[in-house]
A and B are shown apart, each in its own frame.
Chain A
Amino acid sequence: MADENNPNGKNGKVGLVDRVKEDIQAMKVDIPAKAKEQIEGLKDPTKTQVYTSIFRHKHDDTPRNRALGVLSNVFLHLHPAKINRDAVRYSYTWGMGGITFFLFIILTYTGVLLMFYYHPSKVQAFRDVLYLEHDVPFGKILRNMHRWAAHLMVIGVWLHMFRVFLTGSYKKPREFNWNIGVLLLVFTLLLSFTGYLLPDDQLGFWAVTVGTNMARATPLLGHEGPFGSMLGMTPYNDVRFGLLGGSIVDANALLRSYIWHCIGIPIVASILMIVHFWRVRKDGGISGPAPVMLEAEADKPRRGPKAAGE
């Protein structure tokens, strides 16, 4: 009966067993062979498909690969492949632009982590900071790093501007990039300032009160400023009211500070940084160290096609 239900009968069963046996035999050869191949392959990971899909060129130390290492990487290709031998001297740039940018990245990173624990409301803000300080794992060092990086960034921008000035790097053709820089300076200070209020403690509250009180006195647009009251400015409709979302530093001011600090200004500053870096490249790389010019050459065009340190 079983046979009737199984037209292949005994032969079919035997065929299956044989096939399995055959496969097992083959497997004993195939798999070790493949395993060997795999292990061989692992000895040089740069040949794997995963590797070659990520890195678009070989790794050997050749001039071509050094150049490609920079050019084929979206982050590194901000740099040219080669630069003037003197342009890498720390004494020239002081590295302050790069350090400022690095601090901005650290601030973004620590700032996002802080945002997980912070509510921009009068009820919660201060407690959240206490919570961060005492209960969140690594919360204290997180907050400290964010604060000190912010201070360092302000110092970094100042020193960067100072060296750009001292090396005359704002001169032709970099006038426009200097202007982008000035805007970055302003936004860096504003980032710091808007963040100052967020812990909602006495320090931040009074600093921001002192700071925004000046807005009262804005000519034309502040209620205590020259011609302000003549234009109908009151504490309830002038620029200060617009900044704070109220006539005193309170819940709305906290929320506005938070949004400017975490969303508005970082976006604008990031865009400006992109333009800034782009222009550094387009204006011929950093300005020097360039060959010195003599008084007599002042009104003549510069020697050589590209005298600067690009």
Chain B
Amino acid sequence: MDWRQLWEICSAPDNVPIVGLIPLLAFYIYLAWKQAHANDQLIAQLEADPAMAKTHHRKTWPFKPGWQKEVHVWPFLLRIEFLAAIIITIILMVWSITLNAPLEEPANPNLTMNPAKAPWYFLGLQEMLVYFDPWIAGVVMPTMIIVGLMVIPYIDTNPLGSGYYTWKQRKFSIGTFLFGFIVLWVAMIIIGTFIRGPGWQWFWPGQTWDHNRLIYEVNRDLPDIFGITSNIAKAIFGALVVGGYYVLGGFLVYSLFRRYMGKDFKRMSLLQFSMTQFLLLTMVALPLKMGLRLLWHIKYVWITPWFNV
């Protein structure tokens, strides 16, 4: 156990935000879960008791007839904003006094940093470079993330859970978002920051970064396993595998939706549903491809003269 190495990584000034992000996320997930749980209980109660549902004010916080429904922004909201501004300023001051922003040697194109890491918030994408070619990890994925985020309001046709925390009414959408945000984005950043060392190799926390370590790893392509050698056959084979993934996966999504989310499916137009299928399958493809690589050392699935997937 190399504590010094661990400390060096955790205390690198630009890594501190991630060290801070983890407890912050944990806290806010807890806060959201607590409210979702309370709301879900209330919903169950009201659903069991229609008479109560008619008269209840429908929030978990107490409310009695005759209480004011609205409060003045001045002072009730402004004082919170003012307090928040002060607290943030103090945190920032203390942080800036105790920890210095990093400044390395002057830029030198002839002296490669190893590992050369992107800023922490992009490390998820850099981690994807291990499993995908740069045109996918660096261009297609960010584009898909942005487009995917933007279409969320238009493909989520579930009218429930608007304006309050809930889990039971939005299991699918919240589950999907948690998977994308926590597992595919934050966890990859954590791996990129704390695990990846020189040569972008995997070093467990506390393992010394060995700059001379070589990993002898033979990667194969999927067509090789099936004994396909000619280039044309490889291209066709890959297209079939990838196409098959989307077709079969699309069918699976359909049958799951039909069975378990019938109401949502009914509300969706064809465009909304196929968009959901496509984005969901593309997202799930990331861990699948990672699994192929980690478990069977498969580098590419689809090989063409112009691009590889």
Contacts and interface: CB of A to CB of B under 8 A. Distances in A.
B82 to A, nearest CB: 10
Nearest to B154: A175
Given A67-B72, A70-B74, A199 B103 contact: yes
B9 to A, nearest CB: 15
Give the interface size bracket for B toward A: 35 or more
Nearest to B309: A226
A202 B88 contact: no
Interface of A: 63, 66-67, 69-70, 76, 79-92, 94-95, 98-99, 102-103, 106, 126, 129-130, 133, 140-141, 143-149, 151-152, 154-155, 158-159, 162-163, 165-172, 174-175, 178-179, 182, 185-186, 189, 192-193, 196, 199-207, 209-211, 213-219, 222, 224-227, 230, 248-249, 287-296, 298-299, 308-309
B74 A170 contact: no
B43 A294 contact: yes
In the A-B complex, the 3 residue pairs with the smallest Cβ-Cβ separation, listed nearest first, are A214-B138, A290-B163, A288-B163
Given A155-B20, A169-B162, A292-B46, 20 more contacts: A67-B72, A80-B73, A84-B69, A88-B71, A88-B80, A159-B28, A166-B32, A168-B160, A172-B162, A185-B149, A193-B119, A200-B106, A205-B109, A207-B117, A211-B119, A213-B134, A217-B138, A291-B59, A293-B161, A309-B163
A91 B109 CA distance: 48
A292 to B, nearest CB: 5
Given A155-B17, A168-B161, A292 B166 contact: yes
Interface string B64-101: 00011111111111101100110011011101110111
Contact of A155 (B21, B92, B150): B21
B113 interface: yes
Contacts of B93: 141, 145
Given A155-B24, A175-B154, A290-B164, A215 B71 contact: no
B53 interface: yes
Contacts of B88: 99, 102-103, 106, 152
A249 B74 contact: no
B226 interface: no
B177 interface: yes
A209 B133 contact: no
B47 interface: yes
Nearest to B138: A214
Contact of B112 (A204, A206, A291, A296): A206
Contact of A299 (B25, B57, B89, B159): B159
Nearest to A87: B77
B7 to A, nearest CB: 19
Contacts of B96: 141, 144-145, 148
A298 B263 contact: yes
Is chain A's binding surface mostly helix, strand, loop or mixed?
Answer: helix
Contacts, number: 297
Contacts of B164: 167-168, 288-292
Contacts of A147: 101
B116 interface: yes
Interface centre among A203, A205, A211, A218 (most CB of B within 10 A): A203
A79 B68 contact: no
Interface string B15-40: 01100110011001001100110010
Contact of B134 (A201, A224, A295): A224
A293 B159 contact: yes
